[in-house]
């Protein structure tokens, strides 16, 4: 697995206030990495550090093998950035604006023509000819993604791209970011936990300047719930009745039996009981929980 971003022991203070406290993150290539936290938790500060806009008090950041240094921009050649409120020249349309960006970044005429068309199709603006001044908030966010992807960056940093959008606009942005990971790595900052759950492969949560958990999303959703969901070849109510005098904690939920099996020995004992009772399993899987539930558990 190739690591695109390595953040090691980053600490950032403003005066006596420690905004980031010993942050460690390793972000794999071609993933959507969710960076979740409440407003004011320090997310934007870390992104500014990743862009070399703020000096670190301790630690280091490397992007695509290039060290990030305050006031220098070598590492930014690998980065596309979408701020939470992108601004554009209002008297251009989407194509004209991207052509301007392509000229500034020295893309050849042949290269930029195909790339601009490709990106406008990705973000759903290929047939839009009106001026940017008439665009909705969602359209501007989508144009911002196209602009950030123009030079095929190895890392796309998105700062709260869905925070002020309606449900339809949020769904469009999430779909675009999920598709974008085929050609880049997406660092997706958000305080909307359900958005992260929809598209992220990895999630880290920042709380008061500290990472309180990070892992692959599938692992986080299954982390020690201790519950398994069973279906059987006979009615679940009959199974429940036949097992009610056993020591296992269980309940019926939507024609499924949810059983608390906290460790391997309890799991084996339950399976043995089913064998003794001659009860055939149709399916068995760990019960997952919403990421939001995990957040509430950790913060509670």
Give the pair of three-digit tokens for residue 272: 């043995």
Helix 167-180 crosses helix 137-149 at what angle (to 10 degrees)? Answer: 10
Region 199-224: mean pLDDT is 83
Region 127-135: mean pLDDT is 93
Contact (CB, 8 A) for 260 and 226: yes
User: Are 100 and 143 part of one and the same domain?
Assistant: yes
Domain span holding position 258: 226-288
Domain count, the chain: 2
Instruction: Tell whether the model's pLDDT for residue 289 goes beyond 80.
Output: no
Instruction: Check residue 298 and give its pLDDT.
Output: 57
User: Are 210 and 194 part of one and the same domain?
Assistant: yes
Contact (CB, 8 A) for 280 and 232: yes
Q: In 10 A of CB 32, how many CB atoms?
A: 25
- How does pLDDT run across 180-193, given as a tens digit for each residue? 999 999 999 998 88
Q: How far is CA 45 from CA 29, 50, 56, in A?
A: 22, 9, 10
Instruction: State the Cα–Cα distance between residues 36 and 207, nearest whole angstrom.
Output: 9
Region 286-295: mean pLDDT is 66
User: Are 149 and 90 part of one and the same domain?
Assistant: yes
CA 175 from chain center: how many Å? Answer: 12
- How does pLDDT run across 225-264, given as a tens digit for each residue? 677 889 999 999 999 999 989 999 999 988 899 998 878 8
CATH (domain of 90): 3.40.50.300
User: Are 78 and 154 part of one and the same domain?
Assistant: yes
Q: Interior CA angle at 61 toward 219 and 29, to 5°? A: 45
Comparing 28-37, 76-85, 129-138, 261-270, the range with the smallest average pLDDT is: 261-270
CA-wise closest residue to 258 among 276, 242, 272, 240: 240
CATH (domain of 273): 3.30.70
Name residues whose C-beta falls within 8 Å of residue 49's C-beta, 6 or more positions apart in sequence: 10, 12, 20, 56, 61, 68
Comparing 47-61, 156-170, 224-238, 278-292, the range with the smallest average pLDDT is: 278-292
User: Are 217 and 231 part of one and the same domain?
Assistant: no
Q: Is residue 239 part of a domain?
A: yes
User: Are 89 and 182 part of one and the same domain?
Assistant: yes
User: Are 118 and 211 part of one and the same domain?
Assistant: yes
User: Are 142 and 255 part of one and the same domain?
Assistant: no
Q: Is residue 113 part of a domain?
A: yes
Q: Is residue 176 part of a domain?
A: yes
User: Are 93 and 198 part of one and the same domain?
Assistant: yes
User: Are 51 and 162 part of one and the same domain?
Assistant: yes
Instruction: Check residue 253 and give its pLDDT.
Output: 87
Q: Is residue 293 part of a domain?
A: no
Q: Is residue 193 part of a domain?
A: yes
Instruction: Check residue 224 and give its pLDDT.
Output: 53
Give the pair of three-digit tokens for residue 134: 């008439």
Q: Among 221, 242, 267, identify where a domain stops.
A: 221
User: Are 17 and 88 part of one and the same domain?
Assistant: yes
Q: Is residue 294 part of a domain?
A: no
Instruction: Check residue 24 and give its pLDDT.
Output: 96
Q: Is residue 83 part of a domain?
A: yes
- How does pLDDT run across 10-37, given as a tens digit for each residue? 999 999 999 999 999 999 999 999 998 8
Q: In 10 A of CB 65, how many CB atoms?
A: 12
> Residue 276, exposed/middle/buried by CB under 10 A (0-12, 13-18, 19+)?
exposed
Q: How confident is the model at residue 290 (pLDDT cuts 50, 70, 90)?
A: low
Q: Is residue 175 part of a domain?
A: yes
Q: Among 221, 239, 263, identify where a domain stops.
A: 221
Name residues whose C-beta falls within 8 Å of residue 117's C-beta, 6 or more positions apart in sequence: 126
Instruction: Tell whether the model's pLDDT for residue 272 goes beyond 60.
Output: yes
Q: Among 201, 221, 241, identify where a domain stops.
A: 221
Q: How confident is the model at residue 214 (pLDDT cuts 50, 70, 90)?
A: confident
User: Are 211 and 65 part of one and the same domain?
Assistant: yes
Instruction: Check residue 281 and give its pLDDT.
Output: 92
More confident residue, 23 or 196: 23
């Amino acid at each position: 697995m190739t690591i695109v971003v390595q953040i090691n022991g980053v600490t950032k203070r403003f005066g006596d206030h420690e905004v980031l406290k010993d942050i460690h993150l390793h972000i794999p290539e071609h993933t959507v990495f969710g960076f979740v936290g409440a407003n004011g938790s320090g997310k934007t500060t870390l992104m500014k550090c990743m862009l070399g806009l703020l000096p670190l008090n301790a630690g280091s950041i490397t992007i695509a093998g290039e060290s990030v240094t305050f006031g220098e921009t070598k590492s930014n050649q690998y980065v596309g950035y979408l701020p939470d409120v992108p601004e554009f020249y209002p008297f251009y349309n989407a194509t004209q604006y991207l052509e301007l960006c392509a000229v500034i970044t020295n893309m050849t005429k042949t290269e930029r023509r195909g790339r601009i068309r490709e990106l406008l199709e990705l973000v759903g603006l290929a047939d839009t000819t009106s001026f940017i001044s008439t665009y909705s908030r969602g359209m501007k966010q989508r144009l911002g993604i196209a602009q950030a992807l123009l030079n095929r960056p190895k890392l796309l940093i998105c700062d709260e791209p869905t925070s002020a959008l309606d449900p339809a606009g949020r769904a469009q942005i999430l779909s675009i970011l999920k598709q974008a990971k085929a050609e880049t790595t997406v660092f997706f900052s958000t305080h909307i936990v359900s958005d992260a759950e929809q598209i992220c492969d990895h999630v880290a949560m920042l709380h008061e300047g500290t990472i309180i958990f990070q892992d692959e999303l599938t692992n986080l959703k299954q982390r020690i719930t201790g519950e398994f969901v069973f279906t059987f070849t006979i009615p679940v109510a009959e199974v429940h009745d036949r097992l009610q005098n056993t020591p296992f904690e269980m309940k019926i939920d939507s024609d499924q039996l949810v059983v608390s099996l906290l460790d391997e020995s309890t799991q084996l004992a339950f399976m043995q009981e089913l064998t003794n009772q001659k009860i055939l399993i149709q399916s068995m899987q760990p019960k997952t929980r919403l990421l939001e539930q995990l957040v509430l558990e950790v913060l509670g």
